[in-house]
Chain A
Amino acid sequence: MRYTPHTERDVKEMLGVIGAALPEIFEACGIPERAGSARSIDGITGGILSEEGLSALETERELKRIAAKNKVYGAVFLGAGAYNHYIPPVVRHITANPRFVTAYTPYQPELSQGILQAIFEYQSGIVRLTGLDVSNASMYDGAASAAEAVLMCVADKPGDILISEGVNPEVRAVVAAYLGGTGRSVTLAPLTEDGLTDAAFIAARGNAACCLIQQPNYYGNIEDAKAFGALLNGNGVRYIMHSYPTALGILASPGECGADFATGEGQPLGLPLSFGGPYLGYIAAREKYVRKMTGRIVGETTDREGRTVYVLTLQAREQHIRREKASSSICSNEALCALAAAVYLCALGKNGFRAVAADCFDKAHYLAEKLERAGLRLKYKNAEFFNEFVTVSDSKKSSRILKLLDEADILGGLKLNEREILWCATEMNDKKQIDGLAELVERV
């Protein structure tokens, strides 16, 4: 395939205007013909790439062949950081609009009001969802959001970096990597027997710089996020609440819990699972942190005629102005994913969003009851959970359960070990699926 439109005549005319042949241009730049080594793809010796490439039809065939090697399950009960939710078709239709898809970052406000307003509406949606004051225009993913929130917290504050053991291990790993440049390390706050973050451990570290709590936590348990807010606010420890956004349909918002920062994975807001990406990190903060905030932010202003317009603002925080003094190096973000999230929030609306959260809660509790009847035990009896929970079994091996489900076209939960599985249910799982799954588990 070639996506270059040049005819031979075009090339000749253009080179005539330039006054040199193509090899001469490259040579004048300092790249002589056959500059590459024998290993290079310049055609001297063969590599793994074909010289001629493929036609569009062949490319399509090849990708369909590859796609067919992936198994798409009829029912999904796996979460652990990526969630199978209903995506109203209108979300994909709107986000497929080429004027959104093929635009660059909206540096030219006169040509980009549509993108800027869409991001402003996304920010507004996140502010409303989290109950905090400001949101940026998006981060790479939830883990990167948490990591950048930690960096913001510790930039001007000494002390421990407390991270709950209930935070998803993927997120913890990313936070640890991001801290590599600061020389500061993490203090892991353990979980109690009930699968909840140990409040006494955190209370004993009143001089900490910040504390990261996940809601609901990795094991699905609902943390007493308000109590942590009271505790951390009282000690002057910056509170980062990392939430599954769907859960915020019914659970107390970070704002209500006293969080300084709200972060989380935005994938559940209208983005498909897509083998892990592209996803969307959301990050919101109290007003007082706005000038330290990471990433792009869209603000409202007026033009000369007094019309309301939107622009990228507070750019003095950013890399293209501040260079090494910027609050982060982030440039490209996840704008199109943020657009999907904004459309998703509108498509569900105030009542629909709450209803999805309630449905996830109900489905997971129904599933838990069914699995208990099928012979599994709930690991954390004294904690409440949202839509994920851990089961334990002495007789039914996790791998056997999951294999049997796989054969029935069901993607089971996450195997924590041979006795324990982390299950997830969402609005996508109907009664029939859940009953069917429980029957299979009973047979193991």
Chain B
Amino acid sequence: MRLIFDKSVKDRACVTLPASEIPVYSVKNAGFLRIAAAELPEVSELDLVRHYDALSARAYGVDSGFYPLGSCTMKYNPKLHESMAGLCGFTDIHPLQDETTVQGALEVVYLLTEYLKEITGMDDGSLQPAAGAHGEFTSLLMTDAYFRSKGERRKKILVPDSAHGTNPASAAMAGFSVVNIPSRRDGLVDLNALRAETDGGVAALMLTNPNTLGLYEKNIAEIAEIIHANDSLLYYDGANLNAVMGKIRPGDMGFDIMHINLHKTFSAPHGGGGPGSGPVLCKSFLRDFLPYPLVGASEGGYGFLKPPKKSVGKVRSFYGNFLVALKAFAYIIALGRGGIRDAAEKAVLNANYMCALVSEFLEAPFGGARMNKTEVSECGGEGGCAGSFECAAESEKSKKFGGACMHEFVVSAEKLKVDTGVSALDIAKALIDYGMHPPTVYFPLTVHEALMFEPTETESKETIDAAAAALREIVGEAAKNPEKIKNAPFTAHVGRPDEVKAARKPVLAR
């Protein structure tokens, strides 16, 4: 499709400004002036509308269809939120207005922070970080400041090998070195490896729970004990909070500091990559390190508090992505405690249901066999028992129910690839021809030919049935006609792009 720049016609215009009623002034120093005008497109409003309508037809959102992108929580974004975030009482207020004139905005910031504290079991928080990784970075700056305030120098962050890439990247950005902790074959943190790496230089362990395999780190109490016995901090990556909200709280699990992705868990839309919002929450002993300004409430109303004593400062101008926070606020008050718990339960139900269907024809290394079929025989093997590696030590009960995942699950196409040459990526691309968005592929890095599905709670049984049926057909076709699947998709606007060429000779603007 042609670029908007190629549709430009000299002197065509879309917007006309009012005629000036005041004198014209001029810059005295001609050296200050721009020589070459920015070559922006000259188009009519209709040109512009048609251009973007055509682009939107080549885009795909949650509103278009099933979007089981693992680790991304692509749940439905209620339209009510969009309307409310468009109210001029929210969009047309300046961040530097006197606080008496923005009592509504401060109320949203204050109450949302309170709700998030309650949902997570933390004591305080800031909405300033603009995205999940930004929240991680902020928390790690706080972690560093905390140890420096105690006169300690701790420069190591422990990260499980299944962690999101942002964890180690944020740690490095905040000046830490990163130590990877291997996972056991059952996908959970290897406690022995954790013990071995936990020394006086360790500032924190970053953990996602449930982890990126969709498994709950059931040894969390022991993990917390190991970390706290070393006076290190336990950090919760809130990317997967959707699985447990309303059921169990990071604060109660023993986490000291965390971030939340409001654009995942609390239904603010992803916008094609952002804006997000990544509030940081912490236990009271870390309060003094939070970014400023924080909002407080008194009888006279809401107001900004004095910067916390040892604050890490500001990680973004003003108060964060306010309108994104507003959407999360609307979601939380509409759902209430019951709705929040219901969302987590249905997310887990949908994932287990889909996993049960899909694991009939794709291997689910960490779970997903129908629970009543998962017998003791699975233990010690590569089968579907979540506790396979340590089964001998586990109770009969956990053997029986070993197949459960939480809000997402990972299947491996490794065997299919050996048999047919069809890879995880090929399966993902073939799903496009069924009108669905592919799952996350090749993540986590610890599973070969990984396909990671997160159906989310807002999808119906019919949608999941259709997706499982499509996958079954694709896997069946792979055995019969692998070349067809390797060349998918056929119905998309474009075929598979030459990514090597894009990186080797970058064309990044026109």
Complex interface bits, A340-382 against B, C-beta within 8 A gives 1, otherwise 0: 0011011111111111101101110110000000000000000
Residues of B close to A430: CB separation below 8 A: 18, 21
**Chain B residues within an 8 Å CB radius of A174:** 313-317
Residue B422 is within 8 A (CB to CB) of chain A in the complex: no
Q: Are A313 and B502 in contact (CB under 8 A)?
A: yes
* A124 on the B face (CB < 8 A): yes
Known interface pairs A224-B31, A251-B32. Does A97 touch B56 (Cβ–Cβ under 8 Å)? Answer: yes
Residues of A within 8 A of B23 (CB): 362, 366
Binds B, one of A101-109, A158-166, A187-195, A197-205: A101-109
Write the chain B residue with the least CB distance to A342: B4
Interface string of B29-59 (1 = CB under 8 A from A): 1011111111111110100110111111111
Q: Is B256 an interface residue (CB 8 A)?
A: no
Cβ of A36 and Cβ of B34 under 8 Å apart? no
Selected from B35, B314, B316, B335, the residue in CB contact (under 8 A) with A2 is B335
Query: A325 vs B373: C-alpha distance in the bound complex, in angstroms?
Result: 44
Whether, in the assembled complex, A241 has its beta carbon less than 8 Å from a beta carbon of chain B, the answer is no
Cross-chain contact A25 with B61 (CB below 8 angstroms): no
Task: Check B508 against A301 for contact (C-beta < 8 Å).
Answer: no
B495 pairs with A4, CB closer than 8 A:
no
| Interface check B1, CB cutoff 8 A | yes
Which of B6-14, B225-233, B412-420, B471-479 forms part of the interface with chain A?
B6-14
CB A257 to nearest CB in B, in angstroms, measures 10
- Asked if A22 is at the interface (CB within 8 A of a chain B CB), the reply is yes
Q: A3-B267, A66-B104, A330-B134 are in contact. Are A53 and B336 (CB under 8 A)?
A: yes
Query: In the bound complex, do residue A52 and residue B94 qualify as a contact, i.e. CB atoms below 8 Å apart?
Result: no
How distant is B143 from chain A, measured CB to nearest CB, in Å?
Answer: 11
A131 to chain B, nearest CB (A): 7
Residues of chain B lying within 8 A (CB to CB) of residue A305: 495
If the complex has contacts A72-B89, A123-B508, A309-B494, are A332 and B270 also in contact, measured as CB distance less than 8 A? Answer: yes
Is A350 a contact partner of B37 (Cβ separation < 8 A)? yes
Q: Please tell me if the beta carbons of B121 and A37 are within 8 angstroms of each other in the complex.
A: yes
B102 near A53 with CB under 8 A, answer no
A335 CA to B271 CA, complexed, in Å: 6
In the complex, the chain B residue whose C-beta lies closest to that of A307 is B494
Q: A13: CB under 8 A from chain B?
A: yes
Q: Which of A22, A84, A99 contacts B94 (CB 8 A)?
A: A84
Asked whether A103 lies within 8 Å of B353 as measured between CB atoms, the reply is no
Contacting A at CB under 8 A, from B78-125, are: 78, 80, 82-84, 86-98, 101-105, 107-108, 114-115, 118-119, 121
A346 adjacent to B343 (CB under 8 Å): no
Q: A386 CB to closest chain B CB, in angstroms? A: 9
- Output the nearest chain A residue to B460 by Cβ-Cβ distance: A5
Q: A177-B291, A351-B42, A384-B27 are in contact. Are A101 and B334 (CB under 8 A)?
A: no
Q: Is B244 an interface residue (CB 8 A)?
A: yes
Which B residues touch A123, using CB under 8 A?
A: 508-509
A408 in the interface (beta carbon within 8 A): no
- Please determine whether A142 and B317 come into contact, CB atoms closer than 8 angstroms: yes
* Bound complex: CA A358 to CA B345 (Å): 57
Q: A40-B252, A41-B249, A329-B173 are in contact. Are A18 and B334 (CB under 8 A)?
A: no
Asked if A156 is at the interface of the complex by the 8 Å CB criterion, the answer is: no
Task: Say which residue of A108, A112, A331, A384 sits within 8 Å of B32 (CB atoms).
Answer: A384
Closest residue to B215 on the A side, CB-wise?
A: A29
User: Across the interface, do A384 and B404 meet the contact criterion of CB distance under 8 Å?
Assistant: no
Given A67-B90, A180-B144, is A101 in contact with B269 using a C-beta cutoff of 8 Å? yes
In whole Å, how far is B319's beta carbon from the nearest beta carbon of chain A? Answer: 5
CB distance from A176 to the nearest CB of B (A): 6
- Give, as a whole number of angstroms, the nearest-CB distance from B291 to chain A: 7
Q: Which residue of A lies closest to B80 (CB)?
A: A56
What 0/1 pattern do residues 356 to 387 of B give for CB contact below 8 A with A?
11000000000000111100000000000010
A12 to chain B, nearest CB (A): 11
Hey, which chain B residues are within 8 Å of A443, CB to CB?
none
Q: Which residue of B lies closest to A349 (CB)?
A: B42
Contact of A337 with B165 in the complex, beta carbons under 8 Å: no
Tell me whether B322 is interfacial, beta carbon within 8 Å. Answer: yes
Flag whether A326 is at the interface (Cβ < 8 A). Answer: yes
Q: Is the CB of A36 within 8 A of B169?
A: no
Q: Which of B29, B101, B432, B502 has the most CB of A within 10 A?
A: B502
Within 8 Å CB of A358, what residues of B?
A: 24
Residues of chain B within 8 A (CB-CB) of A256 are 34-36
A328 at the interface (CB under 8 A from B): yes
* Besides A101-B272, A104-B69, 9 other A-B contacts (C-beta < 8 A): A6-B349, A70-B101, A76-B94, A82-B95, A275-B323, A321-B165, A342-B4, A359-B17, A362-B20
The 9 residue pairs across chains A and B that have the minimum distance between CB atoms: A53-B336, A30-B218, A67-B89, A276-B318, A181-B175, A28-B401, A336-B271, A102-B61, A19-B372
Identify 18 residue pairs between A and B in the complex whose beta-carbon atoms are under 8 Å apart, listed by A's number.
A2-B342, A15-B349, A18-B370, A62-B333, A71-B97, A71-B102, A100-B271, A102-B61, A110-B494, A117-B55, A121-B3, A144-B316, A174-B316, A307-B494, A318-B165, A328-B173, A347-B15, A351-B42
